Amino acid sequence: MSEGDTITAVATPPGVGGIAVIRLSGPAAERIGRTIFRSAQGHPPPFATHRLYHGHIVSTVDGAVIDEVLVVLMRAPHSYTGEDVLEIHGHGGYLLPRRILAETIRAGARPAAPGEFTKRAFLNDRLDLSQAEAVADMIDARTERGLDLAQSQYRRQLAGEITALRDGIVDAIARLEADIEFAADDPDAPDAMSIPNRLQEIGREVNSLIASYREGRLYRQGVSLVIAGRTNVGKSSLLNRLLGEKRAIVAATPGTTRDFIEETVNIHDIPVRLTDTAGIRGATDAVEQEGIAMVWQRIDAADAVLLVLDGSESLTAADRQIVAELSGKTLIPLVNKADLPRILTPEALSDLLPNHRALWISAKNGTGIDELLQAVRRLFLSAEGDASTGMRITSLRHKLALEKASFFLCQATARAAGGGSPELAAADLQEALEALEEITGETADEMILERIFANFCVGK
């Protein structure tokens, strides 16, 4: 990022819409606004901060009117980026926002890089790094729980916990340094075990945050489920039922599904990516052979498999072969067509899947679907974890930083408890402190920042 330049981007999604927002940030924002904006009153606006002005964006080439807009200037430091920010609220669509964007560039701004507005907010101390990451998570959230976690992080709940941990470590470092300098002369020095006891408490809090990652990651990233089974067992009907709409073609002809159909569905606040696959059978042509090979690739990459059997028929050799090849995979067995007379017996199911309880469902009328959704939830979430309301970390970067802090905390605790060198214990604690500061950005280097903000959309 160049110091002192002014950036511009369309801040709203591309495509048809009622309103589009073009955002500028930097020292030339007001000047550019005065260059391309004409007030409806026919005179230059005073551009009082945080006030909307009605008028038109005009061409810098010939003065032609481009769009009727509302414009607002938010003067530094009271803006999202901490710099002067100008927002142009015009009509949505494909062409108009791009025309306005082009005028801002002609007037002296440059196109913003992905995430550059939020990066400037971080560099100008408007946000810490965990808050900046939460901005992207709020935009990407696909369930209410995922959004709640992102908003908690944006409201500095995680930063507050990290600050409390840092304060405890700083206090321990100060006491160790005092022991180093004054222990021999101070008969009233604190109990030798008070420091390791306090460090153990901090370590437990750090490890609790680390343990929350498994659940937090699920709400943020979701899981993948592949619907698999032989032909004509109702896989596409199940996908349609779970989505609540007809997304896949359903027909009695074997081999109707040849391409993958992927959709995301919210199952108890977990974003679940469902993949409907071709029926697994002996392929009759090269295209089908390739499709079935790809089914197994998807199964290998999935978090779990919804194995669908047909309850209105006896087990087939194909069913047994599929189950054998799924050995070692995480399965939720489903017996479909519960609305028809049951031919598949409990004994046959028990012999086929001795370590699983199959769920009887009807993709046609919805029988057993609620039980299936509960089974998916139980598979990925522990009941006690979901019941608690504490902070969850959702970022692998945060988890790795916390694990690094935990390692050095354990090492410092062992040194302090075992009568080891207080200088080495203090050095370990300094390493733990720097690891925690990576989360909020005090010690994050430029490479980390580039990696984080490169994943943002342009305009945010």
Range 150-161 average pLDDT: 94
Residue of 222, 267, 273, 276 lying closest to 246 (CA atoms): 276
Range 117-130 average pLDDT: 95
Sequence ranges of the domains in the chain: 7-128, 134-212+392-440, 219-385
Domain pair 7-128 / 219-385, same fold = no
Question: What pLDDT, in 10s, does the model give residues 1-50?
Answer: 455 799 999 999 888 889 999 999 999 999 999 999 999 887 778 999 99
Residue 190 tokens read as 């604190």
Quote the CATH superfamily of domain 7-128. Probable tRNA modification gtpase trme; domain 1 (3.30.1360.120)
Question: What pLDDT, in 10s, does the model give residues 39-88?
Answer: 988 777 899 999 999 999 999 999 999 999 999 999 999 999 999 999 99
Q: How confident is the model at residue 251 (pLDDT cuts 50, 70, 90)?
A: very low
pLDDT: which is higher, 282 or 233: 233
pLDDT of the residue at 377: 93
Flag whether pLDDT at 372 surpasses 50: yes
Residue of 118, 220, 154, 123 lying closest to 454 (CA atoms): 118
Residue 290 tokens read as 């390739």
Residue reference for tokens 């609620």: 370
Q: How confident is the model at residue 189 (pLDDT cuts 50, 70, 90)?
A: low
Q: How confident is the model at residue 166 (pLDDT cuts 50, 70, 90)?
A: very high
Flag whether pLDDT at 384 surpasses 50: no
Distances (CA, A) of 459 to 14, 20, 116, 435, 440: 11, 11, 8, 30, 23
pLDDT: which is higher, 163 or 252: 163
Q: How confident is the model at residue 424 (pLDDT cuts 50, 70, 90)?
A: very high
Q: What gap in Å lies between CA 168 and CA 378, rounded to an integer?
A: 37
State the CATH architecture for 219-385.
3-Layer(aba) Sandwich (3.40)
Q: What percent of the chain has pLDDT over 70?
A: 88
pLDDT of the residue at 421: 86
Flag whether pLDDT at 292 surpasses 50: yes
Q: How confident is the model at residue 323 (pLDDT cuts 50, 70, 90)?
A: very high
Q: What gap in Å lies between CA 361 and CA 227, rounded to an integer?
A: 14
pLDDT of the residue at 256: 44
Flag whether pLDDT at 142 surpasses 60: yes
Residue of 291, 290, 278 lying closest to 231 (CA atoms): 278
Residue of 3, 14, 4, 5 lying closest to 111 (CA atoms): 5
pLDDT of the residue at 402: 97
| 362 Rama sector, left if φ>0, alpha if ψ -120 to 50, beta otherwise | beta
pLDDT of the residue at 284: 60
pTM of the model: 0.82
CATH of domain 134-212+392-440: 1.20.120.430
Q: Mean pLDDT over all residues of the chain?
A: 88
